[in-house]
Amino acid sequence: MSFKQSLITIASISLLSLSSTVFATSLSEDKLIRADQFFARCTQIRFYEKGKTLFGQQYKRYMVRCSDGTQAEITGWEGNQWCVGRGRSECTNNQLETANKACK
């Protein structure tokens, strides 16, 4: 085996080792991201209170219990709009989807 062939062999082995390490790292990061999506989920939604804004809009507040032991609040507005917290940010048309957003 010549010196040139030895260098090519060593370089090939190094590249192969590096590419498998990068692939394994990206696989494990992908699994971490997917696993993280399932950590905190809504386990219970309880009605808390009914209210009206200064402009006359009616709303209902709900307390959400999350699977990680925390609690969050969501607000149901007229027109089937559900929002995280007391305001109108992070809103959806689905109560459970909003509750799961509040848990994250």
Segments making up each domain of the chain, as ranges: 1-38, 42-103
The per-residue pLDDT for 19 is 45
Cα 53 to Cα 61: distance, rounded to the nearest angstrom: 12
Check: CB of residue 98 under 8 Å from CB of residue 83.
yes
Q: What angle do CA 49, 51, 55 make, to 5 degrees?
A: 165
Q: What are the helix (H) ranges across the chain?
A: 3-36, 95-103
The per-residue pLDDT for 20 is 46
The per-residue pLDDT for 44 is 95
Sign of CA dihedral 70, 64, 48, 81: positive
**How far, in Å, are 12, 17, 35 from residue 7 at the CA level?**
8, 15, 42
Task: Give the model confidence (pLDDT) of 30-67 as tens digits.
Answer: 555 545 555 789 999 999 999 999 999 999 999 999 99
Q: What mean pLDDT is predicted for residues 23-33?
A: 50
Task: Give the model confidence (pLDDT) of 80-100 as tens digits.
Answer: 899 999 988 899 999 999 999
Helices (H) and strands (E) in the chain, counts: 2, 5
Model-wide pTM > 0.75? no
